[in-house]
Amino acid sequence: MRLALMTEPQQGLSYAELLALARRAESADFEAFFRSDHYASFPGSAGKPTTDAWATLAGLARETERIRLGVLVSPVTFRHPGGLAKVVATVDEMSGGRVELGVGVGWNEDEHRQHGLPYPPMDERFAMLEEELEILHGLWREPDGWSFTGEHWRIESAACYPKPVQRPHPPIIVGGEGRPRSARLAARWADEYNLNGIDPAEAARRVGALRRACEDAGRDPETLVISMMAGVVVGANEAEMEARVAEMLRTFGLPPDEAGRWMAERRGRYVMGTPDQALERIAAYAAAGIERMMFQDWLPRDLEMVSLIGREIVPRA
C-alpha cells in the first residue's frame, strides 16, 4: 500500500509547524504530504490562523527534498482555473516536479461567506468543476492558441507558460464519495479518485462503481488510481493510542457526553490502534481495491506519532 500523510492546517498551524510536520513525514518515508485547502478554522474553536494552501506548499517545495506535495482538495470556488493552472505549474517547478493537485466542489459555506467568495448551488459547482478540469488539461496539454468557451469561463488563444515540470501534467485527483456525477468526471479527467470517510466494505462498493464509470467512458479502469483518506490515531500500545484519542477529542472541543458516540461512529473507518491493528485495517482497504491511503492527521503537533507510523507501519504496509 502506498501511504501519504494528510493534515488540516486550518486548526491554527503556523508555517513553521507545517514545515516541521512535512519534514517529519519525509523522514518517516511517507510517499507524499497533503494539506487541506480551507480559510476557516475548524474543528474546535473558531478564529485560529488559517494559512493559504498553495502559498505554504510553495514554501514546502523549497524546504523538503524528496516527498511529494499536494493539496486535498482545492475547491473550485476558491480560484480561477487559469490562475490555479499557473500557481500549480509554478510550485511544480519550485519542487522539481513533486506536486499533486486535488480538486473538488467545496462544501464549507461559512468560509465562503466570511471571505466574500461565491457559493453557488451544488449543481452549479459541479458544472464549474467540470469546466475547471477541461481548462487545466487545455492550458497544460493543448498547443498555443487553444480556446475554450464554457458557461462559467472562457479561454481565448491560450499561451500558458511555464508548463509543469511533470508531463503531461501533475497528477490530478478528484475527491468525493464515488457517486455517479463525480465518478463520471474522474473517468474523463482525473488520474486519481480519492474516497473519504467510509469503511472497507463500502469502499469496495465504491471502487466497483468507479471502475464501471471508467469502462462506460471507454477508459481502462486500471489507469485510475483509487485512494482513501482516513483518520489516523496510532499508539505503540493501547494506552498510548487512547491518550491520543483523548487529545484529539479535546482538540475538537467535543463535550464528554458526545465524545464517546462521535468516536464510536468513526472507529470502523479510521486507521486506529496499535501498529498491528492499523496494518489490519490497511490490509482490509487494500483488499477492497484501495491503492493509496492518505492518513488524515488530526494531531499535527504530535510528531512522535508520525515517527511511530514511519517505523512500524510504512515499511510493512
What are the structural domains, with CATH classification, of the chain? 2-316 (3.20.20.30)
- What is the C-alpha separation between 28 and 307, in angstroms, rounded? 6
- What is the C-alpha separation between 58 and 135, in angstroms, rounded? 22
- What is the C-alpha separation between 268 and 67, in angstroms, rounded? 29
Q: What is the predicted pLDDT for the residue at 167?
A: 95
Beta strands in 136-239 (DSSP E): 148-149, 154-155, 172-175, 192-196, 225-234
14 and 304 Cβ atoms separated by less than 8 Å: no
Q: What is the predicted pLDDT for the residue at 45?
A: 75
> How are beta strands 148-149 and 154-155 bridged, if at all?
antiparallel
Note the Cα 53 to chain centre separation in Å.
11
Closest CA to 227 of 29, 105, 73, 74: 73
Output the pTM of the full model. Answer: 0.95
Over residues 206-213, mean pLDDT: 97
Q: What nine digits make up the cell of 148?
A: 475554450
**Is residue 230 predicted with pLDDT exceeding 90?**
yes
Chain segment 29-39, per-residue pLDDT in tens: 999 999 999 99
Q: What is the predicted pLDDT for the residue at 193?
A: 98
**Is residue 255 predicted with pLDDT exceeding 80?**
no
Q: What is the predicted pLDDT for the residue at 57?
A: 98
Q: What is the predicted pLDDT for the residue at 215?
A: 97
Mean of per-residue pLDDT scores for the chain: 94
- What is the C-alpha separation between 311 and 315, in angstroms, rounded? 7
The phi-psi region of residue 36 (left if phi > 0; otherwise alpha if psi is between -120 and 50; otherwise beta) is: beta
Chain segment 261-291, per-residue pLDDT in tens: 878 888 889 999 999 999 999 999 999 999 9
Higher-pLDDT residue of 45, 179: 179
- What is the C-alpha separation between 134 and 307, in angstroms, rounded? 39
127-132 CB contacts, 8 Å cutoff, 24+ apart: 127/151, 127/152, 128/76, 128/77, 128/152, 129/76, 129/103, 129/104, 129/105, 129/185, 130/185, 130/189, 131/81, 132/76, 132/81, 132/84, 132/103
Tally of CB atoms within 10 A around 37 = 23
Count, residues in the chain:
317
Cis peptide before 168 (omega within 30 of 0): yes
